[in-house]
Structure 1
Amino acid sequence: MKLGAFSVSLAVKDLQTSKSFYEKLGFEKFGGDMEMNYLIMKNGDSLIGLFQGMFEENILTFNPGWDSSAQEVEGYDDVRAIEKELKSKGIQFAQETDGSKSGPASFVITDPDGNTILVDQHI
């Protein structure tokens, strides 16, 4: 199962303060918009998303079809195929894909310790 690029989406209290902190760790702005209350920051292949006021807890995020530079990769597993395989293994879903046959879609599951996992395909 190819889940794609991995990042951690952090629920932050103050976007500017968090941005400054992660810049000290060598992260640079990769995407997002301060005015929209989120930034995507990158250090090498490491990605973090900083989100102010969008959700309450941190989220593990996977992006099928993308590498760590948000470039499309060949031979990826479509999010709907991943969802189907996980369902066959008895995984419970907090949110399922929209049922479309192709293109962008996402689902949400929760691990045994309550950590939210978002599988979010953009292509």
Structure 2
Amino acid sequence: MIKGLFEAHLPVSDLEVSISFYKNLGLDMAYRDEETAFFWIEKGMSWLGLWEGKEVQTPYHPSLRHIAFRVEYEFMKQSLNWLKERNIEAVPFGTREKIDPFVRPYQGNASVYFNDPNGNSLEFMCSVPVPNHLRNHASCTLDEWEVLLEDKVQ
């Protein structure tokens, strides 16, 4: 029976630059050799492998060069500041123009996106409570979502 995801991999052009970037995200290195580095996402449970090589030239597509890190809801509310403190710029997702964390009620999650130095798409993602009356609501910013939740309580 599947229990979770143990590993994921991304291509990089400069392993040293990438190691520095992922350490800046707070990940601990698990293993390293000349062409690869592995970082614990959850120690002993899941890790991310970075592979230096020409594969980094593969054009971005979410099925090939994307990782979503699970975070807590409270962290999501501070994620833009957290990224900014580390000199990492958030980026809009898809056709969105805003970089703010946003909620997908139909999926029950919130996300904010950013890129690593190699153009790999990274995402912070958390679960959000979705009352029945909001299940079909359109995607909106996390701030807008919190207003919608407060309106129902009052």
Question: TM-score band (shorter)?
Answer: 0.3 to 0.5
Which of 1 and 2 has greater Rg? 2
- Using the size of structure 1 for normalisation, the TM-score is 0.38
- Identify, as 1 or 2, the structure richer in helix: 2
> Taking CA–CA contacts closer than 8 Å with sequence separation of 6 or more, which of the two structures ends up with the larger relative contact order?
1
- Using the size of structure 2 for normalisation, the TM-score is 0.31
